[in-house]
Structure 1
Amino acid sequence: MASSAEIRGIYALHFTHFASSAEIRGIYALHSAHLASTAEIKGIFALHSAHFASSAEIKGIYALHSAHFASAAEIRGIYALHFSHIASAAEIKGIYALHFTHLAYRGCVNPAL
């Protein structure tokens, strides 16, 4: 992922075109492979505070982590991506909506940031 535009594009694809959890896991693995920094993780909570109506949405990403991700590095990558490259609140809301629509909810994990 070389540019912010490309990253925003893949989020748009997630929200509009991806139907299976296997495809979603695959794209998250790709994000993880290209994003190593964890410095911006806390920024997602600022985004949550500013743009999300319910804490259920933010808890959903932790549920996804618990149910589908093998390593913490993968989830760290997606948080860094949100904070660094996604300018629109609608795009961020879209990926959370996708999590709830297409991936089984398995409870939430308490974040240890």
Structure 2
Amino acid sequence: MSWIDVGALNDIPVRGARIVKTPLGCVALFRTDEEEVFATSDRCPHKGGPLSEGIVHGKSVTCPLHNWVFSLESGEAQGADDGQIATFSVKVEDGRILMDGEELGKRSAA
């Protein structure tokens, strides 16, 4: 893996999100607790809603447009809805958020 520093952990509030723009599209970074961050595509497959503007709860995010709920771990829609969002490798080291640059280069983030 080729880890790329994409920002400080403290730039994302707990239960909040930020966007990282890549040549392939936008990736949403979600912070679920003090040291836990997840990365997914920023677009809901239902109507293209910006997931980074959704509600973060537990290890899930709810789309702000039509309330679809996605697991931040697997990207799968939860409940009766079919759908999935892309997830990306991310880790936190010394207060910095790192993403796998090779992984982002192999598939579209949006």
Fold in common (TM above 0.5): no
TM-score in terms of structure 2 length: 0.23
- Larger RCO (CA within 8 A; separation ≥ 6): 1
TM-score in terms of structure 1 length: 0.22
Greater strand content:
2
